[in-house]
Amino acid sequence: MLLPIFLVVLVDVFALTLVIPLLAIYAEHFGASALEATLLVSTFAVCQLVAGPLLGRASDRVGRKPMLLVSQLGTFVGLLVMASARSLWMLYVARFIDGATAGNLSLAQAYIADNTAPEDRARSFALIGPPRRRRVAELR
């Protein structure tokens, strides 16, 4: 039951880790200054900051699954716009679209919290979370 949620988070993480290095190449190709290239990354973050609570509130009303689909669709459209960008402003539009719909991780966590039994919740969150780090005391 959690496989689709895992795949949504996987796509989101892959998209983010692949896009960040490519933004510098794209920005350089379109003759962007260092500030403009930095703003490309910041555009995503600011849009995500503003849209995150709105997506969360919408998922409370509409449901987690529909909003996960909207979020995935936004990531898809943002990546398509970025791939077909012919100018710097199109990159900004792509980052805006992707950032404004970038609620995959928080929506996935809310879905897991809503749909797993309390005794299975930690194991379910581990599927989409970062690996556990060992404390220095455990290593001794």
Indicate whether 64 pLDDT > 70.
yes
Asked whether the predicted pLDDT for residue 136 surpasses 60, the reply is no
Maximum mean pLDDT: which of 13-17, 44-48, 127-131: 44-48
pLDDT tens digit sequence for 80-114: 999 999 999 999 999 999 999 887 778 888 888 88
- Per-residue HEC secondary structure of the chain comes to CCHHHHHHHHHHHHHHHHHHHHHHHHHHHCCCCHHHHHHHHHHHHHHHHHHHHHHHHHHHHHCHHHHHHHHHHHHHHHHHHHHCCCCHHHHHHHHHHHHHCCCHHHHHHHHHHHHCCCCCHHHHHHHHCCCCCCCHHHHC
Q: What residue ranges do the domains of the chain occupy?
A: 3-128
**Range among 41-45, 86-90, 128-132 rated most confident:** 86-90
